[in-house]
Amino acid sequence: MIRRSFLPAIPEFEKAADLLSQAADFLIAGDLENCGECLVQADLRPLREFAFLIAGPIKLEIHRQSKNPVFDPVPKENRPRMPSLSESRAIFARDGYRCRFCQSRIVVKEAHKVFAKFLPEQARKSRINEDNHFGISTLTGSIDHLLPYSRGGGNEPENLVTACGPCQFGRNQWTLEEVQIENPMKYEPIVDDWDGLSRLMPLGRKSFSFTA
């Protein structure tokens, strides 16, 4: 049966997005104490467990596959691996800063850097999954190729969508058809006042620290 995403998003996606939005507003206002409290509350382990279900070991009931795809990689032939920064930002804005698969609100990766700059203990930024803030890392958005790059997909806007962490990394190099997921371009994106916490980006260029 065709589906929109590997699994429906769990309620913690919405909870974390709300708390991270509050944390961003507190940080902009210079209120480190309340910002830190929101970050701690958004550090939700169920999000890590959910992400592992999808982006961890292959499961037939989730991926509709039992092993990684076998294919002949398409030569690069001067194809850029990823779109430019400005092109990526345009895709995020087009998609309303939401995963086009599970429709969860995403946050831009720069937001994690800003939070970690001012509150490194609460924002927990690491290359090790268990040491990474569960809420921020799961909700951090990236650009996903509908037809994987290794299988010939390019950086045309119609082949690019915003994806949350689990939806992006769970698909690996499979095509949408192979994992029985609908092309999200069939549905209009949800665009409202959600900005993916991009409002924090100017703080990343500041060298001062706030006082708690």
Tens of pLDDT along 154-196?
999 999 999 999 999 999 999 999 999 999 999 999 999 999 9
Q: How far is 51 from 68, CA to CA, in rounded Å?
A: 18
CA distances from 56 to 45, 50, 165 (A): 15, 10, 12
Please give the pLDDT value at position 206. 59
Sorted by sequence, the CB contacts under 8 Å of residue 196 that are 6+ apart come out as 92, 97, 105, 106, 107, 108, 111, 141
- Contact predicate 41/122, CB 8 Å: no
- pLDDT confidence of 212, banded at 50, 70, 90? very low
What one-letter code names the amino acid at 55? A
- For residue 63, report the phi and psi dihedrals to the nearest 5 degrees: -90, -10
pLDDT tens for each residue of 29-41: 999 999 999 999 9
- For residue 6, report the phi and psi dihedrals to the nearest 5 degrees: -60, -50
The residue assigned the tokens 């994987």 is 148
